[in-house]
Structure 1
């Protein structure tokens, strides 16, 4: 990827994640990145294209991070523990690959672009489907009900940690899932 294009995407992702997409204009991205406006428009026809590139970059980073965290789970219980322990570490700013915790970039972005047919909303939905597929890939024992539970609780944990500051919600999820779902499946 072109160095200036990458700098624009990196800068946009950082600014959008830290401050929200609608509060950051193109001029702010240009100022912080040090890239000329003409160069920006050589790579992106619109702010929406830049947003989509930032979403795509975060998507790949998050999936690579998550895959690393879930590898080697030998039981569904261990998968649950690995996932929510990793989330807790992210909430506590202990995951340099993901940066400072500001909630889920995809939830935040979808909230700013709530039209179901917008490309941004559609990309956010794709991200959530891909995360669920990745979790399912690492589940040693297939269990669709557990997968749905994990995904719903993961979203709730991320939102709760961001909105309330209660980072221990990740450990509450482990207890709830293990006590109520995994035990019943045995």
Structure 2
């Protein structure tokens, strides 16, 4: 990947994640990155293309982070503890590879794109399915109910922590609920 393309993509992702996609125009990405408009359009066909590539970049970063966090879990209790305490680390700014916590980029993006059939909405759904699949692969027993509960509480924890800033309480409550379901 060329340095300018990577700079444009990193800048766009940071701006889109911090301020929302609809509030950031191409000119803002160009201004902040310091890259010429012609260069941007030589790498990306449109703003939608730039958004899709930003989603891909965030997906790869998040999945690598989550895979590394869950790598050594051997049972459901470890999976739950590791997943939710890793999320707390992200919420609290202790996970530098994920950057400053600003909610879920995929949820935020989906909220801005109302056409569920659009490529952008489809990619957001793809991301959520991939995260679910990873969590499922780490379960020590195949339990659809536990998988559903983990995924729903994970999404709820991300949204609640973003909206309230109460990361410790959110994580503690999520883990407590999952412990009851685990039995």
TM-score bracket relative to the smaller structure? over 0.9
In the other structure, the counterpart of 2:175 is 174
Tell me, in whole angstroms, the C-alpha distance in 1 between the residues paired with 2:174 and 2:17. Answer: 25
Q: CA offset at residue 144 of structure 1?
A: 1.4
- Deviation per CA, 1:19-57: give whole Å up to 9, x if none: 111110100000111111001111111000000000000
Q: CA offset at residue 71 of structure 1?
A: 1.2
Q: CA offset at residue 2 of structure 1?
A: 1.3
Tell me, in whole angstroms, the C-alpha distance in 2 between the residues paired with 1:114 and 1:64. Answer: 28
Once the two structures are superposed, the pairs formed by residues 87-106 of structure 1 within 5 Å of their partners are: 87-106=87-106
Give runs of ≥4 in structure 1 deviating > 6 Å.
Answer: none
In the other structure, the counterpart of 1:53 is 53
1:28 paired with 2:28, answer yes
Q: CA offset at residue 98 of structure 1?
A: 0.3
SS across alignment from 2:98: coil
In the other structure, the counterpart of 1:107 is 107
Tell me, in whole angstroms, the C-alpha distance in 1 between the residues paired with 2:119 and 2:74. Answer: 37
Aligned-residue Cα RMSD (Å) equals 0.7
Tell me, in whole angstroms, the C-alpha distance in 2 between the residues paired with 1:154 and 1:132. Answer: 10
List gaps (5 residues or longer) in structure 2: none
Once the two structures are superposed, the pairs formed by residues 99-138 of structure 1 within 5 Å of their partners are: 99-138=99-138
Tell me, in whole angstroms, the C-alpha distance in 1 between the residues paired with 2:114 and 2:172. Answer: 31
- Deviation per CA, 1:125-158: give whole Å up to 9, x if none: 0000000001111112221111111001100000
In the other structure, the counterpart of 1:162 is 162
* TM-score normalised by structure 2 residue count: 0.98
List gaps (5 residues or longer) in structure 1: none
* TM-score normalised by structure 1 residue count: 0.96
Tell me, in whole angstroms, the C-alpha distance in 1 between the residues paired with 2:143 and 2:77. Answer: 12
In the other structure, the counterpart of 1:145 is 145
Q: CA offset at residue 119 of structure 1?
A: 0.9
Q: CA offset at residue 77 of structure 1?
A: 1.1
In the other structure, the counterpart of 1:11 is 11
- Deviation per CA, 1:40-97: give whole Å up to 9, x if none: 1111110000000000000000000001111111210110000000001111011001
